[in-house]
A and B are shown apart, each in its own frame.
Chain A
Amino acid sequence: MAAGFLLQLTGVPWMPSDGALHGPVVDRLMFWNLVALCVAALIAHLWLGFAIFRRQSAVGKFPAMIRWGLIASFCLMYAWMALTAQRLWAANRYFGPSTAAMQVEVVGEQFQWYFRYPGTDAVFGITRPQLVNAAAGNPLGIDVRDPHGADDIVSSILTLPAGREVDLQLRSLDVIHGFFIPGMRLKENTVPGMMLHVHFTPVSPGTYPILCSQVCGLGHQRMQARLLVLPAADFDSWLAGREQAQARRTGQ
């Protein structure tokens, strides 16, 4: 967003540059909302300042017409905000992803994010909390007896291809965490006992921080990870490499 970029040049902190398909709409809405609210706050304060420094006026009563007109125009502003934002919310959240979306599972546990790819069979294997053992290389408790689980890839970096829709399946092993990628304008809590889905399309290759936005214990601030968006070809070779490595591992 040009205005945001200009602001960043002036050194005023602003939203980080956006890497998602739906990001520009969010940024534009955010910008115009902030402009409208700043103008409203400014006018109110100018009004207040004017009234403070004004001597007693002969006109006692403020015209009621203008009062109700002001209120009505504010109501219009709120209606505009509600409508535009609802359209965006509906577009992002009401409907699931397209069938071609890539499946990735995000698992939060106290102070670590894990990302699981379904592997060559495109099906996530069964997990059981009883089997969770990070020291033994199974932080998500994947059941090795399940054939779907054998080829699952678990990573601590979320690697995604640019330009393809991603369906994230969010869950948590222990407490509520907040899955927040500022660069993708995306946030959803991971709630234990619930399987939540969000979908988005990363478009700009690069590295983006992933943060925990819901206080989850003493390591809350450390609970960060990286999102690596790769060009499609690079991603394919990365995925192929991981799949082969996984096959070698389970083949042993």
Chain B
Amino acid sequence: MPATFTRNQVEIERKDPGIGGKPPVDRRPTGGGGDGENWDNQPQGRRGPRELLIRYRLGVLFALAGDLMFFIALVSTFFVRQSSGHFDVHENFINDWRPLAVPHILWLNTAVLLLSSATMEMARRQLFREIDVMEEWLGLGRPAVKRAAPWLAATLALGIMFLAGQWIAWKQLVNEGFRFISPDPSSHFFYLITGIHGLHLVFGILALAAALTGLFTLKKIEFRQVAVDSVSWYWHAMGLFWIFLFVLLEFFQ
């Protein structure tokens, strides 16, 4: 991973978990959060630059793990509902599942989303280039921001394109007679899954917009890195979730 920093003193010390051996002289507790009241009188101390990044990565990772469980629950419901049915009065097994012909535009949407993941990754990598970081620290402007901003903007545009594509897909389905409020379980699942995924992307787009603004307004390079990095992992996860959901909707009807 090209996440590089000029390593300073604090970080080298933190490498050692301190299980055995002599206690180092300069041991500082890990950094705190943003609570105003410094109730245990801990001196602030210098934070390692990676620390904030790791904290936010952990947070995004766990949040996505919970989110993944939510989608797993939906997907298992999909399979259960697909196979459930009843016996009619003549002992025939009746199943009300009508396979849904998923609109072809979803293929295009999937490609757009994958492309947006690639641009997102490009944006993320721009912020971690050592030479740029160095230049900024030396007061030579903000080359990282200049490089990352177009990629972020491209991701934003592609994300909006994806959502527009989903909207077109819904329109097509409604025209074909598959509405959400209809007795068809497959269309319920289609709207529910694409809708909830779309809602996630709306949040993602808002976060992208915030990160893009932050790129220009945040003073510290660490904060800019955290903003873009968190959004990018979220965005990648949404891309990955979409691939699974799309495969489910397209091939497991």
Contact = CB atoms under 8 A, between A and B. Distances in A.
A binds B: yes
Contacts of B86: 193
Nearest to A126: B89
A128 B90 CA distance: 11
Interface string A92-135: 00000000000000000000000000000000001110000000
A27 interface: no
A81 B89 CA distance: 43
A143 B89 CA distance: 10
B87 interface: yes
Interface residues on A, range: under 10
Contacts of A127: 89
Contacts of B87: 195
A128 B88 CA distance: 9
Interface string B76-91: 0000000000110110
Contacts, number: 7
Interface string A134-155: 0000000001000000000000
B88 to A, nearest CB: 9
A232 to B, nearest CB: 31
A143 B86 CA distance: 18
Nearest to A193: B86
Interface in B194-251: none
A193 B89 CA distance: 12
Contacts of A143: 89
A185 to B, nearest CB: 29
Nearest to A194: B86
Interface in A194-227: 195
A99 B252 CA distance: 40
A193 B86 CA distance: 6
Interface of B: 86-87, 89-90
**Nearest 5 Cβ contacts at the A-B interface:** A126-B89, A193-B86, A128-B89, A195-B87, A127-B89
